[in-house]
Every structure is written in structure tokens, then in C-alpha cells.
Amino acid sequence: MTEKFVGRSVPRLEDRPLLTGQGKFAADVCFRGQWTMRVVRSPIAHGTIKSIDASAALALPGVHAVWTADDVAHIPPIPFRLTGLKALEPYRQPVLASNTVRYVGEPVAVVFADDQYVAEDAADLVELDIEPLPALTDATDEAGIYEAGLTTEPSVVRKGYGDIDVAFRNAHAVVSLELSVGRHTGVPMETRGAIARYDAARDVLEMHGAAKVPHWNRDTMAKMLGRKRDSVQLYEGHVGGGFGIRGEIYPEDVLVCAAALKFKKPIKWIEDRREHLIAANHSRQQRHKIRAAIDADGLILGIDNEFFHDNGAYMRTHAATVPDLAAAMLPGPYKVPAYRAVGHIRLTNKTPCGTYRAPGRYESTFVRERLLDAIAAKVGVDTVEIRRRNLIGKTAMPYTLGLETLGTHIVYDSGDYARLLDKALAAADWPKLQTDLRARRAKGEKVGCGVAMFVEKSGLGPFDTVRVEVKATGGVEVITGVASIGQGVETVIAQICADALGVDYKTINVIHGQTDRIDKGMGAFASRVTVMCGEATRLAATKLRDKALNHAAQLMQTSADRLDIIDGDVVRIGGGPSMPLSEVARALPEGLNAEDTFESAHMVYPYGVHVAAVRVDPETGGVAIERYVMAYDIGKAVNPKLVEGQIAGGLAQGIGGALLEEFLYDDSGEPLSVTFADYLMPTAHEVPPSTILITEDAPSPLNPLGLKGAGEGGTNPVGAVIASAIDDAIGIPGAVTVLPVTPQRLKALLK
């Protein structure tokens, strides 16, 4: 494949409708005669439902119906999409609470009315009689009773290899830490929304406002509602941020679809911001007790980790995914001869959890890198040197970790971790940075720097299918089963198709997130789109190119090996008459198209290094990030500028979890972070200018282009590196053990 567009930072194709005000988000979708759905949510964290009185709401003009659990008793709980352990199934969430409520914000009833204003007034008139029960808010407390025969510890994740007991018996020293990561999540600009309508003429149920995994959601909701899969279709519009939490099946999605079938009316639901903060998936909250066995030089002999994962009130679509990833990815880029992880999945009376950008890795990277810093302090070497000593070498690749996650064996496909560390330190001008910080500390400033390393995973299979078609008008259409959540899908896929086919990327229209256009697809998650869909696109476009040349050869009375496709024209090599691809397409009764599938049993593993310098204000407990460098090796960058954008955006989210964002609850389970006045997010002021270094030193051998995903490398180690820098600034090794490092917590450390 001649690379004309791949590897270049060409302008994005998807921006024009957004920049010209033509974007179509969920709230923009409207149908004639639609009703609005409003959710009545539990005001208490745990209790028994005694009664629900909707009489006053039903008497309000414009109100058509109020549903409670009895009206949807035929709909099963929402199933698992990933890591669905059998033991977790009794803990799935029903679409409406029946006998027991388990968190503030749980749906207990829904109101259907003419418009959003009437619906909201009616929801306020629904009277709930709920008898309070004791709330469980600490996942490390003794496991309690969930319901008859079930405890609040649904399962335990266990992973490991090697002889951990021998490692600790032979240790020169043991380093132990207790570390916690606070509860936070993705907060997109656009809240969740779903609009359903039933087309009786076609017997098709449509849901608009889909994101992330439209095909799985279509198949699953069809099954939940007792319909054939082809009679349910999902449509993705523009999406105002995804971050792992948007696009999963929530109770509200099922309810709007069930209502559209029942009432034969379009049903629209758009949540407000408070609803989003208390009802959309939370993530992250874990507490770890970790220890490392080391030799006299600080080489790791073994790591033993026990952690408690607070999953909130129910197991949602991600099931055990986050704790499973935390346990599986904790070893990172280091040689760990023996390893054991025990992760307790615990349920509490809080909002249920799911994945959020770099799920399980943000948490485990913080834990692992804090451990490396502690080992450095124990041995008496600097934090960079201790990492060098323990890194997996380039010649060890591919490196089999001896663990599994997401149904695959973890085999690091390629990597030169030491080389990237050197490049990151050079980009940060590390020796000068250290000299400058020492001079400032000598003058009384509390400034310091830190470094953190990590391995990411991306390119999750098992497949992606793409169909490419040359239109009679001259354009090219690429139809995929992936979704776009802002990462530049249309541009990147067009670049890959353009080079494989021999056309200008601007002539390519990439269709995604429309289940009626292609029968199967895996969607957008786990940084998989460029790897999986990109290679499927290359295969389909290459097949189409061969087909076009063979047919053109007949039309031009020559052989296919004497032809090429350049800028959308079939040309004779060496000169002569040419023919537009569109003319070849018009000459074929069946049109000019091709479809192909890329399958993969293993993920690919990009890796990175972050360097941060911070200044601590001892009076306020504030932390200012003065310098930030991110180095990330993704094998091959299709569009480097888009990769940089992904990494810069990920940094902002990582800073939020490191310094600001945290969902807090009181002892009764009442959420305390229900507005942006309480749930603090980073602004442009808190996010520093950053240096981003994209490298291609280790292309993946698992796909011809050498691709690895880029979506989560900006977030993964941010908590770890900021914690390390704060330690250095305040001169207390190992001081930071809890994220986020809020001003209150930092002032307590300084005392």
C-alpha cells in the first residue's frame, strides 16, 4: 500500500457540520407527536418500597401514563456485555426497582407526558413511600446481606503466576503500601438521551441517540423486548463525548423503547445534569493493599496485591471488567517473576459503576508506580533508575505475561520501553529540570517532579467488518460497524481506505453507528477502532481495488497488471487513456463494492511515559502543574495530530481524577456531589500546556500497518505521576496514598 494519506495530519472530515451548526445530537432528534419520558428516582440510598401513588400525576393535564415495576415485569434485568461471570447475574439491574431501592437516583417509575415541562411537574407529584434500610457505603467493611442467599461480595477476581510465597521468603526486603483511588467518572458535555419510535408499517422499532456499541445494544434490547433482531434498529448521531460511560444500555434506553412499542408514539428522554451525576456509570473507586518482594538492588521478585473494588449498587453491562483489568494490567512494563492479585468485587448503596477511560489501568498504574517509587526510596536510588532496572527488555518481545483479561491472553506484542523512557526524559530536559527544581527548593519553594510508565491495551477483537463501495457519482462509501465518539473515526478510516484504493480521502464518506446499513459490528471501546476497523478497511479496499482493476482491464482491453488507480482514475502504467472509477462502477450491474472482515485473537499493547513538574502552595494546599511531557508509542500513527488531540484530552481527564473530581457520599448514602459546584472538574486554567511525543519505534506485528490504539494513553498514568511529583515537592517520599489529592488532603499531609 503506497502511503499518501496515512501518517499525515490531514484535516478532519467530521468537523464541517459541527462548525456550521449542523450537528445533530440526541436532543436535536424530534418526531411528530412525540411524548416525553421523565424518570422518578429514589430519594434514598437503600429501602423497601411500600407504595407508589401516581394518582396526582395522572390527573395533571398532558400526562398520558405512569409506569412502575409491575408495568415492566416482563422485561428481564439488563445483561452483561463484557466479563459476565455467572456468579454476578443475580446482581443485574432491573429497568425499574420493584421491592427494594439500592441507590439515590435509581429509577422507580417513569412518567409519559406531552412535553418535558409537564413530565417534570408530573414526576414531582408521584408519591413514594419507601421504608429506609441501613446503607452500606464502604466497600472494605465486612460483606453484608444483599438479599436472601446473596452477600454484598458477588465475586472475587483472582489472577497470578509464579511462586509468590518463595519470592517473599527469598526477599532482601519487603515494601508494603495501602493506596486508594476515589470515585469519579466521565462527564460529557452532552448528557444521555434516547428517542424511540415504532414504525408499524415496517414493524420496526427505532432508537436514535445510540453511541459506542449500537449493534450489541440492538441485539440485546431486541432480546429483552421479545423481538427479532432485524426488527430493532439503532441510529447514532453526533455524540458530545463518550469516555466509556456513554452508549451502554441503561434502564432508560430500554424504557423508551418499551414505551414506543406500547403506546405507538415516539418517546423522547433527555436527562438533566443532576440525573447524569447520580445515575450514569461511576468508576474508579478502589482500595489496594500491595507489597513487593525485592532483592538488594531493588529488583522485583514478586508482587502481591489485594484490593476492594466498589461497584455501587448493581452489576451493570461491564460486569467484572474494571477489577479484572486492574488485576491483569498491574504488572505494567516491568519484569515481575511472581504475581498474585485478589480483587474483591463489592456492592454498596451508591451509583453503579462501569468503565471510564483507561478503566482499571488508571487505578493499577497509580498503585504500581507508587510501589516503584517506594522501592526506590527503600533501596536509595532515584525513581528513574529503579524503573530502568526493572524494565522488560526489547529482546524479550513478544512478552507473555501469564495472565488473561477480556477473554484474551496478555502477550505484549512489541515494545522498547527503555528507549521511550530516554526519549521522554530528553523531551523534558530532565537533568536541567532537576537542577532548576533543586535551586528553587533551596529558596523555599515546594516544587518537584515525577515520572511514571505504563503499558496500555488496545485493538480488542474478535472482529470488524467493513464494506466499501464506489458510487456511480464518483464518491466512495465505507460502511462500518464501529461508532464515533469524537475520536476522528471518519477521517482515519478514510485515510486508510484512500491509500489502499488509490483515491483522495476527501471523496470518502464513512458511515458508522447505523445498524440498518451493516448487519454486525463491535462498536467503539477499548481503543479498538483504528486497529480493528482500520485493518478491515484496508482489506476491503484492497479487495475492491483488485476487483476494479480486473473489470477495468476488460473495458480498456488490457491486463490488470498494466493498470493502477491514482486519484480515483484507473490509469495505464507508463501513460495512455484513463477511466474514472465511477465509470467502472456504472459498467457493473451489481455495482463496484467489496466487503471484508479482520479477525484478531490478541490485543495490541501501546506504552508510554509521563513526566510532570508541580508547585505546591502550602497555604492553600493547591497544586499547580508547571510542566507536563507525554511520550507514547503507538506503532503507527495514521493521523498524528488526531493522536495528539486524544492524548491532550486524556490528560485533562487524568488531572481531574488526580486533583479535583470525586463523588462523595454521607453515611446514609446521600450523594454530596450532585452539581458542578460540588463535583469539581478541571478547566483550561488547571490543564497545563503539554509536550506530546508520538513515537513509532515498535509497530505491532499483529496487523500489516503496525497499528496500536491511542485513546487512553493520555489518562492512564496521570494520577501516578502527579502523586510522585507532589512527594518530591513536599520532600516526603510516599506521602500521597489517596487520589484525588485535594487541598484538604494535601494540607493534612503537610501537617
What the block records as the C-alpha cell of 83 is 466479563
Q: What are the backbone dihedrals phi and psi of residue 619, each rounded to the nearest 5 degrees, phi first?
A: -75, -40
What the block records as the C-alpha cell of 138 is 464502604
The DSSP string of 648-710 is: HHHHHHHHIIIII----B-TT--BS--STTTS----TTTSPP-EEEEE-SS--TTSTT-----
For the domain 140-185+282-391, what is the CATH code? 3.30.365.10
pLDDT at 1 over 80: no
pLDDT band at 506 (very low <50, low <70, confident <90, very high): very high
Contact in structure between 657 and 285 (CB atoms under 8 Å): no
* Least confident window among 84-88, 278-282, 348-352, 500-504: 84-88
pLDDT digits (tens, 9 = 90+) for 229-275: 999 999 999 999 999 999 999 999 999 999 999 999 999 999 999 99
**∠ CA(392), CA(396), CA(401), 5° rounding?**
70
Domains 140-185+282-391 and 408-456+605-751 share a fold: yes
What the block records as the C-alpha cell of 712 is 487512553
Residues 6+ apart with CB under 8 A from 645: 488
End-to-end CA distance of the chain: 62
Domain ranges in the chain are: 15-23+460-599, 31-135+186-279, 140-185+282-391, 408-456+605-751
Residue 2's pLDDT is: 75
Residue 698's pLDDT is: 98
pLDDT digits (tens, 9 = 90+) for 135-170: 999 999 999 999 999 999 999 999 999 999 999 999
Q: Name the 3-class secondary structure at 735.
A: coil
Residue 646's pLDDT is: 96
Q: How far apart are CA 460 and CA 464, in angstroms?
A: 10
Contact in structure between 290 and 371 (CB atoms under 8 Å): yes
Contact in structure between 216 and 295 (CB atoms under 8 Å): no
In the 8-state DSSP scheme, what is residue 78? P
For the domain 31-135+186-279, what is the CATH code? 3.90.1170.50
Residues 6+ apart with CB under 8 A from 230: none
The DSSP string of 188-212 is: -SS--EEEEEEETTTTEEEEEEE-S
Closest CA to 160 of 288, 330, 389: 330
Backbone CA torsion sign across 622, 670, 251, 25: negative
What the block records as the C-alpha cell of 242 is 463518550
pLDDT at 100 over 80: yes
Residue 727's pLDDT is: 98
Tell me whether the omega of the peptide bond preceding residue 740 falls within 30 degrees of 0, making it cis. Answer: yes
pLDDT digits (tens, 9 = 90+) for 361-392: 999 999 999 999 999 999 999 999 999 999 99
Angstrom CA distances, 711 to 94, 357, 637, 678, stand at: 32, 8, 12, 28
Q: Which residues pair with 208 in a beta bridge?
A: 195, 235
Q: What is the arithmetic mean of pLDDT over 415-436? A: 98
Q: Write down the H helix ranges in 185-292.
A: 214-224, 251-263, 273-279
What the block records as the C-alpha cell of 491 is 477521517
What the block records as the C-alpha cell of 21 is 451548526
Q: How far apart are CA 662 and CA 494, in angstroms?
A: 39
Q: How far apart are CA 507 and CA 498, in angstroms?
A: 9
For the domain 15-23+460-599, what is the CATH code? 3.30.365.10
For the domain 408-456+605-751, what is the CATH code? 3.30.365.10
Residues 6+ apart with CB under 8 A from 397: 412, 413, 414, 415, 698
Q: Name the 3-class secondary structure at 369.
A: helix
Contact in structure between 549 and 563 (CB atoms under 8 Å): yes
pLDDT at 699 over 90: yes
Residue 691's pLDDT is: 98
Q: What is the mean pLDDT of the chain?
A: 97
Angstrom CA distances, 455 to 293, 416, 693, stand at: 22, 11, 16
Residue 85's pLDDT is: 86
Q: What is the arithmetic mean of pLDDT over 28-56? A: 98
Exposed/middle/buried for 219, CB within 10 Å: 0-12, 13-18, 19+? middle
What the block records as the C-alpha cell of 552 is 477495468
Residue 3's pLDDT is: 84
pLDDT digits (tens, 9 = 90+) for 463-486: 999 999 999 988 999 999 999 998
Q: How far apart are CA 230 and CA 380, in angstroms?
A: 64
**Residue entry with cell 461497584:** 311
pLDDT at 196 over 90: yes
pLDDT digits (tens, 9 = 90+) for 318-366: 999 999 999 999 999 999 999 999 999 999 999 999 999 999 999 999 9
Using a pLDDT cut of 90, give the percent of the chain over it: 98
As a dihedral over the C-alpha atoms of residue 508, residue 514, residue 519, residue 523, rounded to 10 degrees, the angle is 90
Contact in structure between 270 and 193 (CB atoms under 8 Å): yes
Q: What is the arithmetic mean of pLDDT over 433-439? A: 98
Q: How far apart are CA 98 and CA 49, in angstroms?
A: 7
Contact in structure between 269 and 252 (CB atoms under 8 Å): yes
Characterize 594-615 residue by residue with b for buried, 16 or more Cβ atoms within 10 angstroms of its Cβ, and e for exposed.
bbbbbebebbbbbbbbbbbbbb
Contact in structure between 96 and 108 (CB atoms under 8 Å): yes
pLDDT digits (tens, 9 = 90+) for 348-360: 999 999 999 999 9
pLDDT at 223 over 90: yes
Exposed/middle/buried for 17, CB within 10 Å: 0-12, 13-18, 19+? exposed
